[in-house]
Amino acid sequence: MNADRITLTGVRVRAHHGVFDFEREHGQDFLIDVVAWLDLGPAARGDELAATVHYGELAEAVADAVASDPVDLIETVAERVARVVLSFPVRSAEVTVHKPDAPVPVPFEDVAVTVVRDRSWYESGSGGPVPLRRADREARS
């Protein structure tokens, strides 16, 4: 497997996910780490942005996914972000969602969940279809 990857670390998003009413009402910061595996050779050889993933657009798409539609679990948020990452031309994605201000009754620094997904996971029916990015949907209409 090709080990080329684009990594985004610490994408900070204020969102309202959580099981408790106060989490939904007041919100909190979530930190998102994304590793997107793809072949960077064509971009490097041709020095062309179109041959890679624009990491600025990826970061915006990740932030939009986290900020939208509050859910109870960060596992759900991680799955949502993985779907978004795979809507870009990447082979697989690793997504970690950190919730450093989680309501945990003992001292701690962070709580996080990580999911690793590839296209075959969705295509097999395990996770449903890989969604199209908004720009891709608009281009098709």
Into how many domains does the chain fold? 1
- CATH number for the domain spanning 52: value is 3.30.1130.10
Catalytic residue, from 80, 98, 99, 117: name it. Answer: 99
Give 57's Cβ-side CA count (13 Å radius).
Answer: 13
Range of the domain at 45: 5-140
77-127 residue pLDDT tens: 999 999 999 999 999 999 999 999 999 999 999 999 999 999 887 676 666
User: pLDDT-derived band of residue 3, with 50, 70 and 90 as boundaries?
Assistant: confident
99 tagged catalytic: yes
Q: Which helix (H) or strand (E) holds 67?
A: helix 55-67
Instruction: Give 54-63 pLDDT, tens digit per residue.
Output: 999 999 999 9
Residue type, 102: A
